[in-house]
Structure formats: C-alpha cells, structure tokens
Structure 1
C-alpha cells in the first residue's frame, strides 16, 4: 500500500474513532451530557488521538529507519573491488537504487513480471532489452553485481513496505479498540487529552532543540577528523588559504574571516542608516495610509531570493562600480579591475538587510509608551527632539539587538558573495578588490567529486563550526544587551 493511502486510511479511522467514541460516551450517560466527567468532544478526541498519533509516529520512524537498514544490508553484497572506500560505495548504492527503480517501472508497464525481476539476477543483457522496451535505460557502467543488488534492494523494500503497512494498521486498530473500550461516563477524557496535547507541544519544542544539537555534533565530529589530518595552528593562525588536494594545502581561516567581516561591515553601513531612518519615519511621521502602503512594500525586499540579489550584484551594481572606478572612470585611474568586489557584495547585501533592520526597529520604537512622547511634547520639546532624546534612547537596546541579528544574517549569506565578491582569499583593505568569505569556501570545498576523507573537504566542517560559533556569539550578545538594558514600562 502506498504511504499516502496508508496515511489517508489512518485519518479516516481516526475520524471514525472520534464519532464512535463520542457516541459511546453519550450512550453510557443515557444521552445526558451533564452525567459525563468531560465534554462529549473530549471522549471523541481521546479515541481519535489514540488511534492516529501512535500509528503516525511508528510510520515516521519506520520510513526513517527502513532505508538505512536496507542499504546497510545491500552494501554487504557489493564486492570490495567495486567499492574500495565509503565515497565509491555511496556512488554504487546510488546506481543500485536507480536500477531498482527502473525494475519497478518495467514491472508496472508489463515489460517484466515480478518473478522475472527476481530470477534475472545476472542476465544483464536481457534486462537491458526488457527495460529498453519501456523507455528505461541503464548506464553502460552497470555490472551484474549491481543488478543483483538492485533486485535484492527491490525485494527488501517491497517486503518492508508490506510489514510497515501491517504493523501500522495493527497499531492503529489496537489503539482504536483500547481507547474505545475505556470510554464511559466516568472516564477522565479531558485530563488524558490535555496531557496528550502537552506531550505533543513538548515534543515539538524538543525537536527544534535536538535538531540544533544534531547539527552542532555532526560538524563537531567532522571537525575533529579534520584536525587529525591538518595542523590546528595553521588553521587558526596561518595567513594563506590554498587548498590543492596534494597533501601540502594551507588552510587558514583568517583570510576568509577577514573577507566575511569586511563584506558584513559594508552591508551594515548601508542597511543600518537606511533601515533605521525608515523605521523612524514609519513609526513617528508617516500617517496610517502611508504606513499601510510603505511598510509591506519595504518588507518585500526580505522575500526576494538571494540568488536574485546575486544577479543584481553581478549584472547591475558591479558594472556600475566598474564604470565609476574602473579604467577611464573616476579621475582616470583604474581603481577597480572587475565587477566582483567587496563593495559590490556589501552594497547589495546591505539592500537585502534593510527590511531586517527597519521592521525590527519599527516594532521596537512603537513599543515605547505614548505617555513618554506626550510628556516630552508637553514640556515644550519638538517632535524631532522627542525622537532624539526620548524615543531612540528608550528603544536603543532593542535597536542594537536588531542590528546584531542583521549582522548574523550578513555573516551567513552565500549567494550574493559568490556572485558579487569573487573567490580570492586574501588580506586587503581596498573595498574594490575581489575577496571571498567563509560560506563561499564551504560551498566550494564540498562541491565536486572530491575525497570526503581529505583535509581539503573536511575543512568545510571546521569552517562551518567556526561560523556557527561566531553567529551564536552575536545572537547571545544581542539577547544580553536587550535583556540587560531594556527598561520595563508599565
């Protein structure tokens, strides 16, 4: 049974459980709802939740574990000469999955029967012909061992899906029967349902925390493997970034960190004044009509994909800067050789960050009590003096927190830097030079057919962990400033 139909069946059974559970509760009270411990709907929800939630949880776990279990078993069938290392084994297993999918398509179209798919273990020529009849092509590099593994993969997947459907159905029916038999007028259905909802809320909060922990641990262990292969002193204190996959790479984070911070500072120099001035205007000067139009229009910038900003940097801002600072431009001196530069990426990234700063600052300024404005105006201050001397100082901790959050967003940006700043890792104070950042190098080191166990690849995890620590520190600093200096108004 396809997973979609299995889920639909569970939903239908759960809906039936709600109806039958409610009816049973009312029958036990002889139709008088006042005799029930809880409202009638709680009894229905108890049966519905007991039917649906354990079955859905088991289904999710099964779908997560089954592919890993099957791949671990099938990988043992792959000869060592075909997959001498982990990376090659992953490529072979991809071929196995592709061939297994092709066999399923051929069976569905009638070119092969299920029995033939099991028996054609090493007859690769026959299988190619059968699959070619229905438009399924196998690559020339598929070997008989891969075909046999694909056939076993398909059989185990089919068997696992059948067992999954049976187990989930039995669990759902068992939950339905048990909760239905429990239902009577004295059953504390409300307490059970509310405890179940509380457990779901705790689970949702725990998933977010556990996901963060899992990401950190995955980077941490790969970072340890990197430092086993590469000198930590060169990574933290070296001055050159030069990966070459020949065993003598220089992999220092410092030039990448310099480029990251340089681009981020320029972005903040663009975003903070514009965003803060926009927030002051919208919250203090604009009427309701202008605010209702301008604020959503400004926040549209936050919804534009970063790849579009990257194209804007590459095709518009970069050539514009070259026309100004390039050969034959400003003062007749060639200040800028190409369209990619720190200034190009920083300006475009600053435009992207404007809604982050303006929207957060606007909410913070609006949170300042109106009584403080009225008191300042009543003492004879002008509106601009009230904003400078009362509103902004009161909102300053929140504004600083918003700026630090925007800085975290700038440090983690990738596509704008890839297309606007270039790919050269170096120390330079010239904003018209091409540079690169940590995120760009992470993408570069993990792209292509590279040895996953080499320091040139594992360095991406060390860079990622360093970037995580940097952004986490900025977020913690923002929270500290907001909590320490925020004034509590009644």
Structure 2
C-alpha cells in the first residue's frame, strides 16, 4: 500500500509541475512564444521527467536496500539467539516470523519467532514511512530545481531529448544485460555440472540413461546416469509431429485467406483462427490428456495397435494445433506483403491462380514463411504445459510415436518441483537448459542464412 501511495503522490506532483512549468515558460516570454528557445511543453516535459526519475528511482532504491538491510539484521538476530541453527532452519525461523508479523498461521511458534516478529513489525512500519517520505522529498527537490531553471534561454527541448535518449539507452542496456546474465548463469552452472561428472561430457551428450538424482553420492553425480539422448529424442519427436500438423494446415490456411477467400470470409475466418493463439497452454494440456490421448488410444486398439496413454502422437498433435495460428498469421502477413505487380505479371503471362501462388508468391514470401516455421519450432521445443500433462515422464529412447516419451522441459519441471533440494538439481537443470539454448541458437543461424539467401534472390 505504501508503494501505491508513493507512486500516486509522485505522479500527481509531476503532473502539477508540468502544468506549472508550462505556465511559467509562457509568463517568462511575456506571452510571445517566439522568444522562447523551447516550446512550453518541453519545459513541462523536462520537469516531469526529472520528477519521475528522482521519485521512482529513490522509491526503488529505498525499497530494495531497506529489504536487503532488514534481512541481514534479522539473520544476525537469529544467529545471535541460536548459533546452532543451519541455513535452512534459519530461513524457516525467518519465514515463520514474517507470517506471525503479518497475522498468518504458522505450524511452530516460540520466543525467538515471537520476538523476531515484533522486530519485523516495527521495522516494517519504518520501511513504509521511508518508502513514502524519501521518494516524495526527492521528487519535490527535483520539482524545485527544474522549476527554477525555466527561462527564455533555457534549452528545455535539448535537455528533455537527452533524458529520453538516455532512458531508451538504459532500456536497451537492460535487455542486453539480461540476455548476457541468462547466458552466463547457464554457462556457469553447466560448467559446475560437468565438473561433478569429471568432465565426461560425452556421456551426457551421447548417453542413453537419464536418472541424474539416483546416482548422487557425497555431492557427486553418476556420469553413467546423465545421458540426455532420450530427452532430446523425445523433444524432437514431439516437435516433428507438431510441425507436421501445424505447417501444412497453417500454410494452406494462410494461402486460402490471402488469395482465395472473399473479404467477407476473411473478415470472420482470420479472427476465429487467431483465437487459438489466445487459448492458455494449460487448456491445451487438458485437451490432450483428457480428449486426444484417449481417442488415439481407442483408435489404436480398434486397429490392433498398442498405444500408450501418454503417447508422443497425442502431445505432438495438440501442440501442432496450438502452433497453427502462429504459422498461419505470420505466413498470411508475409504472403499479403508480396507486391501485387508480381501476381499481375504472372496472370498476364497466362498462369492460373494456383500456378501463380506456387511459382511466384510462395518463392517471394519464402523468407517470411521460414521465419514463421522457425518461430513454430522454437515454440514447440520450449513448450512445457502440454508435454507435462500429456507426455510421459520416463526417459524412454524410442522412435515409435505411439509410445510414451519425455522431453527436456518435462525433466526440468520434475527436477525443480520435486522434493530434491534446488542446489542438487541445479546442475542437470542448467545443463539441459544450456543444451536446449544451443540447439535453438543453431536453428536460428540456419534459418537466418536461408532467409538471407532467398531474400537476395527475390527482393
């Protein structure tokens, strides 16, 4: 609640200062705006930007630093009260104290938890006061300083644009640093994982037995039980099935909507098709597990085939249905972007509409279609909910789509949501994530080369 109050006060102050700064700029020019270096709106924008930067920046700094400082204080209190507690027990005491301070119900109480809860309540009161007072003071200071600089010669436009450029630069840097941080964390944990298996990377890349937690002994992993081949084989099998469903249906739907359907048909068919993209993946998972999988199993029994309840065919089929709108929508946009002059030239040479689509439109739109297919493959490889609910959990190495297989994302979920400590499961999880990242990166590189080659040919 304190954060909301602070944000409301800062926003209100920035809006009021914006209006006041504009009015002062007009007054400084004596009503003749041609005397101003910058228009009044830039003076108001300059004040508004600095108030938001000072206020919101102080708000985030106070909240983050105060929380970090408080956690250290609370941990020191717990350690001074009972030095025999290990890290897990200290965290439990702190969690119980937070629950008591918030009025929640805990399974265990005691003098330490009660006294710590009282300290938390007192510190939290000061935190709420500081979160409101300090950011508002910073915003008021920024308002006072920027308001005092307003004058005829003040270059408010230049300063405002510098702030906006700096903000855009910071946003771009955050995006890049986030990507770098993710990659570095993957690499670091993957290196630690390979160190625990004595750098026997070949057993991870080419091994066929996946049971990393069963071989744990004194912090070491059994290199013979970390073979990831069954996981990636299952992932690629389900992905291939999904693309066999999504690519033909999505591409043909895009061709029909772009070149064959009437405007009236397109007006309702395209939105109806794109509704599939808004369906939550958990709904697709239920659909795969409750409807599609039993239907495929019953059909297999009728044909005399043994079909597993968690077959790769069921998960891949439903995943393909989920990917259809991605491929269809992107391919439709790309096909519509092909110049009409190419179609007219083909028609003028006597080609039919089907021949024009096959020999002119599709080759010209091929780079965009490849990008759409790549997006679908990436979506299928990283999908979690459908395979968690419809695919198997055992690392079964098979190429039979009627049998149960598991995927990389299923194993990541199982390792992180089970009873195993996070530190123990981190190695295999990050290794799988890093390998999946490398596979996706390789697909991107191949697709970009294909796109560049055909784009040069048809541009």
Q: Same fold (TM over 0.5)?
A: yes
The answer to whether the 8 Å contact 1:405/1:474 transfers is no
Which residue of the other structure, out of 118, 122, 131, is the alignment partner of 1:151? 118
Residue aligned with 1:431, SS: coil
Q: Following the alignment from structure 2 to structure 1, what is the Cα–Cα distance between the partners of residues 405 and 52?
A: 54
Question: Closer, same or farther in 2 for the Cα pair 1:95/1:214, shift >3 Å?
Answer: farther
The reply to whether residue 170 of structure 1 matches residue 137 of structure 2 is: yes
Which residue of the other structure, out of 152, 167, 175, is the alignment partner of 1:208? 175
- Range with bigger deviation, 386-395 or 71-80: 71-80
Q: What aligned pairs does 1:282-321 form with structure 2 within 5 A after superposition?
A: 282-321=257-296
Question: Closer, same or farther in 2 for the Cα pair 1:228/1:160, shift >3 Å?
Answer: farther
Question: Closer, same or farther in 2 for the Cα pair 1:303/1:217, shift >3 Å?
Answer: same
Question: Closer, same or farther in 2 for the Cα pair 1:83/1:447, shift >3 Å?
Answer: farther
- Range with bigger deviation, 303-312 or 48-57: 48-57
Q: Following the alignment from structure 1 to structure 2, what is the Cα–Cα distance between the partners of residues 410 and 465?
A: 17
Which residue of the other structure, out of 349, 356, 372, is the alignment partner of 1:379? 349
The residue aligned with 1:335 is 306
Q: Following the alignment from structure 1 to structure 2, what is the Cα–Cα distance between the partners of residues 483 and 73?
A: 57
By how many angstroms is 1:55 displaced? 1.2
The residue aligned with 2:56 is 56
By how many angstroms is 1:83 displaced? 4.2
Deviations 1:8-28 (A, max 9, x none): 111111111112111211111
Q: Following the alignment from structure 2 to structure 1, what is the Cα–Cα distance between the partners of residues 5 and 73?
A: 28
By how many angstroms is 1:282 displaced? 0.7
The answer to whether the 8 Å contact 2:63/2:127 transfers is no
By how many angstroms is 1:477 displaced? 3.0
Q: Following the alignment from structure 1 to structure 2, what is the Cα–Cα distance between the partners of residues 210 and 484?
A: 31
Question: Closer, same or farther in 2 for the Cα pair 1:207/1:36, shift >3 Å?
Answer: same
The residue aligned with 1:92 is 93
Question: Closer, same or farther in 2 for the Cα pair 1:223/1:145, shift >3 Å?
Answer: farther
Question: Closer, same or farther in 2 for the Cα pair 1:216/1:72, shift >3 Å?
Answer: farther
Residue aligned with 1:400, SS: helix
Residue aligned with 1:427, SS: coil
The answer to whether the 8 Å contact 1:405/1:475 transfers is no
Residue aligned with 1:423, SS: coil
Q: Following the alignment from structure 2 to structure 1, what is the Cα–Cα distance between the partners of residues 129 and 192?
A: 40
Consecutive unaligned residues in structure 2, runs of 5 or more: none
- Range with bigger deviation, 199-208 or 430-439: 199-208
The reply to whether residue 466 of structure 1 matches residue 435 of structure 2 is: yes
The residue aligned with 2:297 is 322
The reply to whether residue 14 of structure 1 matches residue 14 of structure 2 is: yes
The answer to whether the 8 Å contact 2:101/2:118 transfers is yes
The residue aligned with 1:122 is none
The reply to whether residue 226 of structure 1 matches residue 197 of structure 2 is: no
Q: Following the alignment from structure 2 to structure 1, what is the Cα–Cα distance between the partners of residues 174 and 412?
A: 26
Deviations 1:218-274 (A, max 9, x none): 333333332332344232232101132643651222111111111101100110011
Q: Kindly report the root-mean-square deviation, in angstroms, between the aligned alpha carbons of the 2 structures.
A: 2.0
Question: Closer, same or farther in 2 for the Cα pair 1:420/1:137, shift >3 Å?
Answer: closer
Question: Closer, same or farther in 2 for the Cα pair 1:452/1:83, shift >3 Å?
Answer: farther
Consecutive unaligned residues in structure 1, runs of 5 or more: 103-135
The residue aligned with 2:398 is 428
- Range with bigger deviation, 298-307 or 202-211: 202-211
TM-score, normalised to structure 2, is: 0.92
The answer to whether the 8 Å contact 1:267/1:410 transfers is yes
Q: Following the alignment from structure 1 to structure 2, what is the Cα–Cα distance between the partners of residues 227 and 182?
A: 60
The residue aligned with 1:476 is 445
Q: Following the alignment from structure 1 to structure 2, what is the Cα–Cα distance between the partners of residues 484 and 59?
A: 50
The residue aligned with 2:375 is 405
The residue aligned with 1:5 is 5
Q: Following the alignment from structure 2 to structure 1, what is the Cα–Cα distance between the partners of residues 195 and 77?
A: 32
The reply to whether residue 25 of structure 1 matches residue 59 of structure 2 is: no
The reply to whether residue 183 of structure 1 matches residue 158 of structure 2 is: no
Q: What aligned pairs does 1:365-376 form with structure 2 within 5 A after superposition?
A: 365-376=335-346
Question: Closer, same or farther in 2 for the Cα pair 1:155/1:448, shift >3 Å?
Answer: farther
Counting matched residue pairs gives 449
Question: Closer, same or farther in 2 for the Cα pair 1:81/1:351, shift >3 Å?
Answer: farther
TM-score, normalised to structure 1, is: 0.87
Question: Closer, same or farther in 2 for the Cα pair 1:320/1:90, shift >3 Å?
Answer: same
The residue aligned with 2:388 is 418
Deviations 1:161-187 (A, max 9, x none): 333333212211111111011001111
The answer to whether the 8 Å contact 1:398/1:486 transfers is no
Residue aligned with 1:65, SS: helix
Residue aligned with 2:423, SS: coil
The residue aligned with 1:115 is none
